[in-house]
A = this chain, B = another copy of it.
Amino acid sequence: MTAPLHEARPSGAGRTLPDTQQGMRRRNLARVLHAVSAEGSLSRAAVASRIGLTRAAVSTLVDELIRWGLLEELGPERPGRVGRPGSALAVSGRGPAGIGAEIGVDHLAVCAVDLRGEVRARAVRRGANRGRAPGPVIEELTALIHQVVAEAERAELWPAGLAVAVPGLVARDGRTVVRAPNLDWHDLDLGPLLPGHGPLTVDNEANFGALAELWLGAGTPGDFLHVSAEIGIGAAVVVDGRLLRGTRGFAGELGHVPVRPDGPACPCGSRGCLEQYAGEEAVLRAAGLEPRDDRVGLLAERAEAGDERVRAALRDAGTALGIALTGAVNLLDPETVVLGGALAELSPWLLPSLDTELKGRTAGPACPVTVSPLGPQGPLLGAAHSVVRAVLDDPAVVAERS
């Protein structure tokens, strides 16, 4: 089984090294960088007390991180404090940047995020990609990537890696799209098609959406189930702050959990899957609406306007989601369920019936359901931040490459 490249695993890279002095030093470099990153700015002494190393050890590590351009000194702290003034450290706003990209069914998007977590460049192109051959889509995406990288470079940033969110299943090699039904792409290795901007990671949009929630969500716990939708229904399971990927990388296929085992046939080969009740096409059909480009917008607009047929369709979708989530909550016992992506936008009409079902089927206190504030931005931000996290988790890699 191939280990995923980028994951919410602090100091993850160090753990694959033998437990030697070198491995320990790499992990401690990551600890220092994470400590400063978490606080915005910190003195050397504060870093030392936070991570339990001596001030001298921390100073050596900090000097290294400054030499690599990952930390910078903000100058002496304001006077009036007791003791010798220390110089405050901050994560650099120049240097490595994470390049995130998203191949959506209705859009392409790219952004650059610096080590401080700020989006420094962004480019979006609307337009239906459904059924288009991969070649022209990747060409357009590559043009957007070049545009964003050029803008980042003008701000003294350099790409530390490229992460691409796709609406489909990705193999554990982190490059091959096994199946993206709404693009009609199959067994496609994106590696040779994309420009080289450091290490490449391709992952499912639901996974990146969940990681964004984990890293950027306010107060998101380390154990949650993230449910999102663009055309299909995707989910991602986060346990102890780590994404559960599954043996083949296919975990989180909530859309094909059987809701009514004798229900309508699903293209996956089963019957009565969640997607047959709560997928966008099923909901549009139940609502009596013709698909257009912005399907979610259409549903939200009509529900907002009080269209009873649309509201009933969304209510039924919420019920089906509640049944499938009851099974998932029984299996995983997450701290919360987070609705992201398109489901966040539609949550006012989905949540009441979803909640009723989940509460009615749960002995004891039901698992709370919350709505992601990131919504449709999640996958793109998650992709870019995954590159940033990889640098924070093993800063020595930057030194090896620069």
Contact = CB atoms under 8 A, between A and B. Distances in A.
A18 interface: yes
Interface in A241-296: 244-261, 268-271
Contacts of A27: 19
A18 B239 contact: no
A333 B257 contact: no
Interface in A85-101: none
Interface centre among A28, A254, A332, by most B CB within 10 Å? A332
A223 B247 contact: yes
B269 A333 contact: no
A181 to B, nearest CB: 10
A369 interface: no
A326 interface: yes
Given A258-B361, A260-B261, A363-B269, A332 B334 contact: no
A27 B27 CA distance: 15
A20 to B, nearest CB: 8
B53 A251 contact: no
A111 interface: no
A244 B239 contact: yes
Number of copies: 2
Interface size class of A (residues with CB under 8 A): 35 or more
Given A27-B19, A261-B259, A330 B254 contact: yes
Contacts of A269: 360-363
A223 B1 CA distance: 10
A223 B245 CA distance: 10
A207 B93 CA distance: 47
Contacts of A19: 24, 27-28, 31
A268 B363 contact: yes
Contacts of A362: 268-270
A331 B330 contact: no
Contacts of A330: 253-257
11 contacts: A223-B247, A235-B331, A244-B332, A247-B334, A248-B333, A254-B330, A256-B361, A256-B363, A257-B327, A328-B331, A331-B331
